[in-house]
């Protein structure tokens, strides 16, 4: 590619060139047939605007608030694991970019920098994403560390009772050195794989993803933290209603970037259903397939308070480190024409 990347897709191409195939496959891939992976993006493309004309849009303010925190635009950093596979500075570079962009970063449970390292590296507003471990004490420790280190919310991921089948990772085995350790859980949870077919992630998932997690456990989580809890992985009105009943502070419509259950709908296609069911009781967020500023706008128009980006951040990180992540966020902000602010969806 010639010159500087001008959009997220060009960052993806740069990341592909920069990374060993195994790592690029890990970041970019989805589960099984990757139907949902394609749909997450394609479904956005099928939505078009009804732009209205001759309205004064000379002043546009993209800022919004999330759980009371003001951010520069409704674009947050989704939790994605193992950033040191993308760049030696790992999540620290990502967090600094989030801080510079004046937005929120959600740190993954399976980060390659610790909760503490990320907290002390910058003043970004940080949320902590939790995978609930089979051993609840481990989960409780992670939550307490997040709380102690100034993270402002717990993002409970509920769509990973077990690891999705990502066939590229299985083929690549994802165990070749040098894989950075999963720092937050190093020494607490075994990531050993018991045969050479497995990946480090399968090793992690076996010990650490609790397939028995269910609704009553939200009560347990609420009992061990004062932080607000967002629930990530809601795709239906039924679950959205339940989530509001158990007292979460927000809902993230997500299919885990199509890495878990294949043939779930594209997130943008179920957003309205969830927003309608929630009826304004708590804010609704969305991730999955956001690649353009117009996608952000579409999600807002359909009722999201803000969106999160997963792969775009990793592609920026892989291609150009902290600067690349800043650039990706900036691009999405910049890809807003005044028209967008007026559009009415068909
Ligand atoms: C993820 N995602 C994810 N989610 C989570 O709750 N905890 C995690 O550790 C991870 N790890 C992870 C790694 C990688 C490489 C990807 C691509 C995704 C899912 C993530 O938070 C988010 O839901 C999706 O990435 C959103 O889709 P896009 O923006 O990647 O299309």
CB 103 within 8 A of CB 75: yes
> Is residue 217, in this structure, part of any structural domain at all?
yes
> Is residue 247, in this structure, part of any structural domain at all?
yes
User: Which residues partner with 154 through β-bridges?
Assistant: 128, 229
Query: What are 283's two structure tokens?
Result: 């804010």
Q: How many domains does the chain have?
A: 1
CATH number of the domain to which 322 belongs = 3.20.20.70
Q: Choose the residue to mutate in 113, 259, 304, 306 for probing ligand 1, maximizing ligand atoms within 8 Å of C-beta.
A: 259
> Is residue 1, in this structure, part of any structural domain at all?
no
Task: Tell me if 267 CB under 6 Å of ligand 1.
Answer: no
What does DSSP say about strands 49-50 and 344-345: parallel, antiparallel, or unpaired? antiparallel
> Is residue 56, in this structure, part of any structural domain at all?
yes
CB 185 within 8 A of CB 138: yes
Question: Which residue's CA is the closest to the ligand 1 atom numbered 25?
Answer: 310
Report whether 64 belongs to an annotated binding site.
Answer: no
Task: Tell me if 78 CB under 6 Å of ligand 1.
Answer: yes
Task: Tell me if 310 CB under 6 Å of ligand 1.
Answer: yes
Task: Tell me if 232 CB under 6 Å of ligand 1.
Answer: yes
> Is residue 235, in this structure, part of any structural domain at all?
yes
> How far away, in angstroms, is 14 Cα from ligand 1 center?
19
Residue 83 catalytic?
Answer: no
Print the domain residue range for 318.
8-344
Report whether 216 belongs to an annotated binding site.
Answer: no
Question: Which residue's CA is the closest to the ligand 1 atom numbered 13?
Answer: 80
> How far away, in angstroms, is 50 Cα from ligand 1 center?
31
Query: pLDDT 10s digit of each residue in the chain, 346 long?
Result: 778 999 999 999 999 999 999 999 999 999 999 999 999 999 999 999 988 889 888 888 999 999 999 999 999 999 999 999 999 999 999 999 999 999 999 999 999 999 999 999 999 999 999 999 989 999 999 999 999 999 999 999 999 988 899 999 988 887 655 556 677 777 666 555 555 555 666 666 776 788 999 999 999 999 999 999 999 999 999 999 999 999 999 999 999 999 999 999 999 999 999 999 999 999 999 999 999 999 999 999 999 999 999 999 999 999 999 999 999 999 999 997 655 555 444 3
> Is residue 3, in this structure, part of any structural domain at all?
no
Report whether 287 belongs to an annotated binding site.
Answer: yes
Task: Tell me if 255 CB under 6 Å of ligand 1.
Answer: no
Task: Tell me if 30 CB under 6 Å of ligand 1.
Answer: no
> Is residue 248, in this structure, part of any structural domain at all?
yes
Active-site annotation holder among 83, 87, 133, 256: 256
Q: Which residues of 181-196 are buried (b: 16+ CB within 10 A; e: fewer)?
A: ebbbbeeebebebeee
User: Going by C-beta distance under 8 Å and a sequence separation of 6 or more, which residues neighbour residue 35?
Assistant: 258, 262, 263
Question: Which residue's CA is the closest to the ligand 1 atom numbered 15?
Answer: 27
**DSSP-assigned states of every residue in 257-322:** GGTSSTTPPPHHHHHHHHHHHHTTSS-EEEESS--SHHHHHHHHHTT-SEEEESHHHHHHHHHHHH
pLDDT of residue 59: 86
Report whether 80 belongs to an annotated binding site.
Answer: yes
Task: Tell me if 36 CB under 6 Å of ligand 1.
Answer: no
> Is residue 2, in this structure, part of any structural domain at all?
no
Report whether 256 belongs to an annotated binding site.
Answer: yes
pLDDT of residue 346: 39
CB 8 within 8 A of CB 315: yes
């Amino acid at each position: 590619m010639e010159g500087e990347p001008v959009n997220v897709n060009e960052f993806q191409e740069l990341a592909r060139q920069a990374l060993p195939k195994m790592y690029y496959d890990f970041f970019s891939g989805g589960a099984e047939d990757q139907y949902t992976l394609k749909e997450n993006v394609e479904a956005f493309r099928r939505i078009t605007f009804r732009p209205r004309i001759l309205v004064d849009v000379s002043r546009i303010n993209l800022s919004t608030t999330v759980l009371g925190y003001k951010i520069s635009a409704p674009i947050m950093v989704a939790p994605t694991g193992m950033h040191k596979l993308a760049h030696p500075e790992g999540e620290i570079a990502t967090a600094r970019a989030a801080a510079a962009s004046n937005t929120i970063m959600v740190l993954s449970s399976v980060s390659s920098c610790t909760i503490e390292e990320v907290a002390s590296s910058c003043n970004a507003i940080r949320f902590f994403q939790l995978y609930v471990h089979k051993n609840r004490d481990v989960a409780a420790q992670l939550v307490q560390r997040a709380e102690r280190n100034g993270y402002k919310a717990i993002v409970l991921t509920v769509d990973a009772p077990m690891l999705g089948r990502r066939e590229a990772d299985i083929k690549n085995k994802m165990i070749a050195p040098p894989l950075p350790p999963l720092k937050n859980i190093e020494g607490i949870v075994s990531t050993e794989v018991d045969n050479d077919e497995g990946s480090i992630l399968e090793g992690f998932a076996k010990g650490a993803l609790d397939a028995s997690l269910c609704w009553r456990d939200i009560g347990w989580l609420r009992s061990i933290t004062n932080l607000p809890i967002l629930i990530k992985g809601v795709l239906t009105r039924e679950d959205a209603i339940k989530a509001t009943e158990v007292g979460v502070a927000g809902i993230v419509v997500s299919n885990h970037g199509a890495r878990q259950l294949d043939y779930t709908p594209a997130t943008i296609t179920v957003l309205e259903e969830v927003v309608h069911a929630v009826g304004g009781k708590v804010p609704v967020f969305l991730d999955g397939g956001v690649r353009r500023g117009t996608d952000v706008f579409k999600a807002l128009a359909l009722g999201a308070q803000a969106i999160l980006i997963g792969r775009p951040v990793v592609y920026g990180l892989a291609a150009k480190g902290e600067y690349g992540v800043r650039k990706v966020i900036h691009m999405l902000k910049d890809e807003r024409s005044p028209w967008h602010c007026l559009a009415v969806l068909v």
